[in-house]
Amino acid sequence: MAERRVVRSVEEQQARVQAAAVAPRPVRVAIAEAQGLMCAEEVVTERPLPGFDQAAIDGYAVRSVDVLGAGATDDDGDMSGGQVSLPVTGVIEAGTKTPSRLQPRQAARVQTGAPMPTLADAVLPLRWTDGGQSRVRVLRGVRSGAYVRRTGDDVQPGDVAVRAGTIVGAAQVGLLAAVGRDRVLVHPRPRLSVLSVGGELVDVSRSPGTGQVYDVNSYALAAAGRDAGAEVNRVGIVDSDPKKLREVVEGQLSRAEIVVIAGAVGGAAAESVRAVLAELGEMEVTRIAMHPGSVQGFGQLGRDGVPVFLLPANPVSALVVFEVMVRPLIRLSLGKRQPLRRMVQARTLAPISSVAGRKGYLRGQLMRDQDTGEYLVQALGGAPGSSSHLLATLAEANCLVVVPSEVEQLRTGETVDVAFLAQRG
């Protein structure tokens, strides 16, 4: 296993990682399971939507020519003062299968969504009538086509209802159902396995003894993976025995598209982990010009060259490396064209210190001036290195302040790039 002493830039490492992105083969799923996934096909409709002329509101189906002389029309308000009264032939409910026909100078009561009777070309709203049941008095006329949803108004046969590359949301699920599709081809969520190594770790279900700490990383990184859109398998704490460790890792390489191992870039435990991984493929531990989390590993292991990340044991550093390196790979595997978080520029509310020569990803709170709409940012934590372990401040953060590697100090009022984190609440 190689360990590079040369410092690599964040951008160089991101390019190397993202070059390994392979989207899982598209799968066909029920539309109820497709929400949040990217459509992998052009869904072409075979029938019009709506499939028949239907009433857009409750009212009376009429021939517009029979009621134009009543009161004022709904388009230009011309008043004629005429009085029109029509016999009501019956009620047509939504879902009615029996076709009906309207004769001249007749009306039929219709519900929203009911099929329009033959010859009727408009729906007279209830509020423009006296609401009569056997005979209706028309208080105001309507023009042809008013309050009618024509066949194919939404979609015509041959139209594309949902395009490839579209994220399937509530509207797309509804449209798929409306055109009669119960399944759709989508890019599935990449499978992510999260492991933790370290003799000091215990699961949260146990009480830690002297020198032991809870396994924070497998829980936090699994949650970050789900937030990024992956299907996550939290393996948890892995035995450091080489034989057992290799068995577990090989098992995850056969079932996941991405593997993350936390706690494997520092200390004696990390050395044994890397020795095992070296038997499975090319893994490089590199110093990256970023903070926190400058030392990290990446390689492609196993027969299929599965991307594997080695992250620091420090939970904050591990989460930041995950955000900068692992999350974009997950997003690319989902088929996203823009894998990085949305960036904005914000004005600092207080001085911000960073580490010279390293690109900083500092926890912060982003807010907006109600009067000017300007973004403002407040960094969380103290001087670099003094509070990088404080997970509580990361929990309070809603953004990462991205400080260029050549900048060691930002003064109050300076402009800086800020990456949105997931919306809270």
CATH of the domain at 65: 2.170.190.11
Per-residue pLDDT at 212: 82
Question: C-alpha 35: how far from its chain's center?
Answer: 9
CATH code, 370:
2.40.340.10
Q: Minimum mean pLDDT among 33-37, 125-129, 247-251, 388-392: which range?
A: 388-392
Q: Are 4 and 287 in contact (CB under 8 A)?
A: yes
Residue-range definition of the domain harbouring residue 87: 54-149
One domain for residues 301 and 214: yes
Per-residue pLDDT at 256: 94
One domain for residues 203 and 181: no
Q: Are 10 and 292 in contact (CB under 8 A)?
A: no
One domain for residues 319 and 235: yes
One domain for residues 203 and 310: yes
One domain for residues 230 and 302: yes
Model confidence at 1: pLDDT above 60: no
Last residue of a domain, one of 334, 361, 376: 334
Nearest Cα to 282, choosing from 240, 310, 263, 254? 310
One domain for residues 234 and 348: no
Residue 1 falls inside a structural domain: no
Mind giving me the DSSP string for 221-263?
A: HHHHHHHHT-EEEEEEE----HHHHHHHHHHHHTT-SEEEEET
CATH code, 161:
3.90.105.10
Q: Which two tokens stand for residue 352?
A: 């911000």
DSSP state of 325: I
One domain for residues 203 and 84: no
Per-residue pLDDT at 4: 53
Tens of pLDDT, residue by residue over 151-209, are: 888 888 888 889 998 989 999 999 899 888 999 999 899 999 999 998 888 898 888 88
Residue 400 falls inside a structural domain: yes
Last residue of a domain, one of 334, 365, 399: 334
One domain for residues 283 and 323: yes
Last residue of a domain, one of 94, 128, 149: 149
Residue 286 falls inside a structural domain: yes
Residue 107 falls inside a structural domain: yes
One domain for residues 204 and 258: yes
Please state the pTM of the whole predicted model. Answer: 0.74
Domain count along the chain: 4
CA distances from 390 to 271, 299, 321, 326, 361 (A): 26, 29, 15, 21, 14
pLDDT band at residue 86 under the 50/70/90 scheme:
very high
Give the pLDDT mean for 52-77.
Answer: 80
Q: Are 79 and 132 in contact (CB under 8 A)?
A: no
Amino acid at 203: D
One domain for residues 174 and 78: no
CB atoms within 10 A of CB 360: 25
Tens of pLDDT, residue by residue over 312-332, are: 999 999 999 999 999 999 998
One domain for residues 197 and 294: yes
Residue 3 falls inside a structural domain: no
Long-range contacts of 151-157 (CB under 8 A, 24+ apart): 151/48, 151/50, 151/51, 151/52, 151/53, 152/48, 152/49, 152/50, 153/49, 153/50, 154/49, 154/50, 154/178, 155/45, 155/48, 155/49, 155/179, 156/45, 156/48, 157/45, 157/46, 157/47, 157/48
Residue 5 falls inside a structural domain: no
Instruction: Give CA–CA dist 339/255, Å, rounded.
Output: 23
Residue 197 falls inside a structural domain: yes
Mean pLDDT of the chain: 88
One domain for residues 88 and 223: no
Per-residue pLDDT at 68: 82
Give the pLDDT mean for 302-320.
Answer: 93
Instruction: Give CA–CA dist 71/81, Å, rounded.
Output: 5
CATH code, 17:
3.40.980.10
Model confidence at 16: pLDDT above 90: yes
